[in-house]
Structure 1
């Protein structure tokens, strides 16, 4: 639920040392929390430059969202087509479509998959959604609070992600045993993944439109409504920050219970498929172990995710909803898809090295996030690497005009760079991809995507934090000089 449609903000006045856990904004070092990019004090400046910025507004508010909404799904289907019909080769995919008309390209990439949608497709998608909703609603968990929203709401969540994940994966293993005992296999999902991926694109467009209407006419909170930038931008960005339907948080459902649970399901099914075809293969074992270890870490930490940019800042529009429903399943497990038909045997030495580096990367990524959480939870009264944390208490004003305070951590992992946690995340993705070898580029598309995404997110986040914290952010940047890679960038 959202506590109070326009709940007054608490804590962080100078001289008042008592703060609840939400008084220190959503997350610490990257500042993704209770603040909007469209600060009201900037409005006058924006209006004075209206004549100059009008063409750029058309580009940003109409053209770019339209291009993303219309072209990106086809880009993802190119990856699906390369993986399922072109033996994992992007060059083969390009050679097949390069001399065709635009219509023929669309038919090549979409036609066969759409025509192959069957009752099985519907049963898998909606059967899983029913399961995910039941888990979300019925499995108990601790109530945790998200960061204060721009409109003064404090969202609450049931922290049952790890339980849902464990029960789902255990249920999948039991289902596999039952099917195998009856000479059946769950890997039919991998065999028909093209049809499932194509259907998810159509389904996600419908869901996004439903959320667009809901955010305007039946919002769950005051953090909702049109942006004033037109239909195309609102469809892309969303009209509601925390949409909830019959008690189900839609962003938690799509981001966590669908995207980040379907991902390990697909990884598991690829591993089973590989074993059915080739027996034990060490490269598949590596990519499976590292991906499942990382995802398990995520669900162990899920309460912390509720304070990140995805949940606390990004609205439930095409950007987030389509991304989680239609981009994550084809793109994130690419190394596993590829290794099903391209087994690589790398030997015990390299297996050990890659596993150790990958597990260490996941551990560092978790410890970095944990440092932010513990500093926030204790209001800085803790130890970081055996010493008192070096922090900056940054004051800022919310949209409603109240003064708040956040903690910017400048020691521990966060003293190395302002977004150091991206480094082990990219290194980990490399570790679970490199067993695929270097014959084809396709399995590395996720790393390329992840690197671009995180670098872009660092710029987007720092722009927001600079606007939000002003001089405090400048002081922070002087203390922590590097953006992502220490001494490099």
Structure 2
């Protein structure tokens, strides 16, 4: 079954034509949403007639050329971030974590140097010093949003191409379909590395979530300089992105046990979204709040209590569910001592867990949050994404893009995962599904 799963059998995402559409459509969508948010008060503008299409597209293009050009400043800032994070990943102290056995490597487990947390602290200190001494003001990030977004797109396409060509030339490739566009999109290699840096794990945390948090801080700094204070809504986004970033960094040692590491290839699908899509389409609420009157999105006291309580509850479930699953997988490898980083939340490890022993050799967890849902982490993750848009109320639909896009991704990702598990585990998967009946929401679906 493992050999079968490591071979290309069917096309996903609509095959070559589908992936070409996705690679063309998403950059255009990112530009469109940013233009609507920045220059049209968050309204989804469109041509009023067929005759208006050409002038409308001309206006869109002019905004891109003028306000989102890949200028030298944006190249310097974004490239500096990438180089600095590669440097930190190479030199900062970290936690050595063994990954799961990789079938394509003869079931050899790879070692991962998990130093995202120390790199995060180094990044925050560096950013604070640069801001304090006016060497690089954090407000410049939100002020140059469009230019940085375009440069990030160049990186997304370029790194994807470079990785694909390297895999083909070196022979370090897997699951190729033989179609260039499809293999470029899905990826050709599984575990690309530079020295002791696993690029796939590095790009999953260091670039997207660091930038997302720094954009939120930039928006808060912008508000403080403009208004003299930071609104509770903007403070919410700083808290929300800080929680997510810190969780990714402190729990980096859990990433090697995920499907992303031992099965998902590193292609455009993952690379572009990590380097460009996530950082520049997940915090539209910050972009809106940094340029609009706070009165347009102010909440009541009860509203603030509700949304802050919601995200803290969802975060707790997401963090502990992820830890329960990862610690369980580590336990099956004989690892019983887990890394302790701040914050350690109650019930992040299930004592004496119940599980289904499969004929394949793996164990399927049926304890903790995983007794009620096959993907409890996805549900909590989506709720958090919804609050990132809801923090500005109904002033614009664009800040909700993250949650709308995310639910589509999660459902598709689950279908891929469940299909793979059905093939891999057979009747054991059917038995698991009879015990853990609900895919997402307990007692609902």
Same fold (TM over 0.5): yes
Please list, as runs of the form range in 1=range in 2, the aligned pairs for 1:433-448 lying within 5 A after superposition. Answer: 433-448=389-404
1:269 counterpart residue number: 218
* 55, 61, 74: which one aligns with 1:121: 74
Give the conservation status (yes or no) of the 8 Å contact 1:310–1:320. Answer: no
* 94, 98, 101: which one aligns with 1:145: 98
1:389 aligns with 2:353: yes
1:206 counterpart residue number: 158
Give the conservation status (yes or no) of the 8 Å contact 1:409–1:415. Answer: yes
Give the conservation status (yes or no) of the 8 Å contact 1:287–1:336. Answer: yes
* Residues paired across the two proteins, number: 427
Change (3 A) 1:247 1:377: closer
The whole-number CA distance in structure 1 between the counterparts of 2:268 and 2:6 is: 23
1:67 aligns with 2:67: no
Deviation (angstroms), 1:365: 0.8
Deviation (angstroms), 1:113: 4.2
Change (3 A) 1:408 1:269: same
Deviation (angstroms), 1:226: 6.4
* 143, 146, 168: which one aligns with 1:216: 168
Deviation (angstroms), 1:451: 1.2
Secondary structure in structure 1 of the residue aligned to 2:440: coil
1:375 counterpart residue number: 328
Give the conservation status (yes or no) of the 8 Å contact 1:368–1:413. Answer: yes
**TM-score using structure 1 length:** 0.80
- Structure ranking higher on relative contact order (CA contacts 8 Å, 6+ apart): 1
Please give the root-mean-square deviation of Cα atoms over the aligned residues, in Å.
2.8
Deviation (angstroms), 1:35: 4.9
The whole-number CA distance in structure 2 between the counterparts of 1:37 and 1:447 is: 34
The whole-number CA distance in structure 1 between the counterparts of 2:299 and 2:390 is: 10
1:287 counterpart residue number: 237
* 389, 404, 411: which one aligns with 1:455: 411
2:438 counterpart residue number: 482
Deviation (angstroms), 1:304: 0.9
* 80, 84, 94: which one aligns with 2:38: 84
Task: Show CA shifts across 1:192-247 (max 9, x none).
Answer: 1111111221232121111111011125xx5x256133111111111101111344
1:191 aligns with 2:182: no
Secondary structure in structure 2 of the residue aligned to 1:418: coil
Secondary structure in structure 1 of the residue aligned to 2:439: coil
Give the conservation status (yes or no) of the 8 Å contact 1:61–1:232. Answer: no
Q: 5+ unaligned residues in a row in structure 1: which ranges?
A: 1-33, 47-55, 397-404
Greater C-alpha radius of gyration = 1
The whole-number CA distance in structure 2 between the counterparts of 1:59 and 1:321 is: 16
Deviation (angstroms), 1:327: 0.5
1:38 counterpart residue number: 5
1:425 aligns with 2:381: yes
Q: 5+ unaligned residues in a row in structure 2: which ranges?
A: 337-346
Give the conservation status (yes or no) of the 8 Å contact 1:237–1:318. Answer: yes
Give the conservation status (yes or no) of the 8 Å contact 2:153–2:272. Answer: yes
2:197 counterpart residue number: 248
Change (3 A) 1:64 1:133: same
Give the conservation status (yes or no) of the 8 Å contact 1:97–1:105. Answer: no
Deviation (angstroms), 1:110: 3.4
The whole-number CA distance in structure 2 between the counterparts of 1:378 and 1:388 is: 11
Give the conservation status (yes or no) of the 8 Å contact 1:242–1:316. Answer: yes
1:315 aligns with 2:279: no
1:402 counterpart residue number: none
Give the conservation status (yes or no) of the 8 Å contact 2:47–2:53. Answer: no
Give the conservation status (yes or no) of the 8 Å contact 2:257–2:329. Answer: no
Task: Show CA shifts across 1:22-69 (max 9, x none).
Answer: xxxxxxxxxxxx9577366xx9xx7xxxxxxxxx96984321111111
1:171 aligns with 2:121: no
Give the conservation status (yes or no) of the 8 Å contact 2:379–2:440. Answer: yes
The whole-number CA distance in structure 2 between the counterparts of 1:240 and 1:348 is: 51
Change (3 A) 1:59 1:446: closer
Task: Show CA shifts across 1:306-340 (max 9, x none).
Answer: 22233222211110111111101111122222221
